Copies of this chain bind each other. A is one copy, B any other.
């Protein structure tokens, strides 16, 4: 399996066609998995936003104040408002805002970026990354006849472990996971580690070559990845009713009110 960055991509602007930018710069093959950093999908979709367009609600003011009190960090209540508007549910208000985006991804600050964003204060995550992945895939197929898998990725933190890593926000042309249930191990015993979230593993691999800085490489190609002969699973985000950690965080937030 090979992982390489697409070189020479320009600064992406509202209205740009990501599929076109990619196919102009690299020869794709069937079976390739194209990992596209959400930052350029957001830029192409016009998800830039200015702080002055947000009117802080009571909750936003409270969030900004608690973060200042708890973390000693200045938080702009307009940024808090932007985060709230991107979230279906806020799970933790302080010492940082952890929420569920409208498309089901749980992350800090609703994944709003302030890095690599020219001419705007904020860059919001794509509204529907799965639809974006599908559109990029269709755009590549139209132009080249090749239909690679596409993953829209972000760099995101996680509980328990320090640091961020690449994750999948939306995908098309491959399943979210290999489902090993019913398969056997080397001893003929049914498998326990049952569902392998390959889209997240692919996003993580891609992130190693895209990086976080001024590299200018928001697109990585994974070549010769074999999904293999496995059952597939499509769901990546936990069902809220079965997510113990989400429930614990809800109660914990309330405990601080």
A248 to B160 CA separation, bound complex (whole angstroms): 12
- CB within 8 Å of B: which A207-228 residues: 207-209, 211-214, 216, 225, 228
Q: Name which of A23-31, A55-63, A82-90, A181-189 contacts chain B.
A: A181-189
Q: Which residue, of A163, A164, A233, A249, has the highest number of chain B Cβ atoms within 10 A?
A: A163
A193 to B108 CA separation, bound complex (whole angstroms): 11
> Which residues of B have CB within 8 Å of A208?
1, 198, 201-202, 205, 225
> Which residues of B have CB within 8 Å of A155?
193, 196
Residue A189 contacts which of B2, B114, B162, B245 (CB distance < 8 angstroms)? B114
A187 x B117 contact (CB < 8 A):
yes
Known A-B contacts A185-B213, A247-B252, A248-B252; the reply to A3 vs B205 at CB < 8 A is yes
> Which residues of B have CB within 8 Å of A1?
2-4, 205, 208-209
A238 to B159 CA separation, bound complex (whole angstroms): 8
A180 to B212 CA separation, bound complex (whole angstroms): 8
A186 to B212 CA separation, bound complex (whole angstroms): 10
A163 to B155 CA separation, bound complex (whole angstroms): 18
CB distance from A155 to the nearest CB of B (A): 5
Chain B residue, CB-CB nearest to A176: B163
B245 x A196 contact (CB < 8 A):
no
Query: Could you mark each residue 134-170 of chain A with 1 if its beta carbon is under 8 Å from any beta carbon of chain B, else 0?
Result: 0000000000000000000001001111111111000
The 9 closest A-B CB pairs, nearest first, are A163-B197, A248-B252, A205-B205, A204-B204, A159-B245, A201-B204, A115-B185, A163-B195, A106-B160
Q: A117-B187, A165-B201, A193-B212 are in contact. List 13 more A-B contacts (CB 8 A).
A: A1-B209, A115-B191, A118-B187, A159-B159, A160-B238, A162-B235, A164-B194, A178-B212, A184-B213, A184-B214, A196-B207, A198-B208, A204-B205
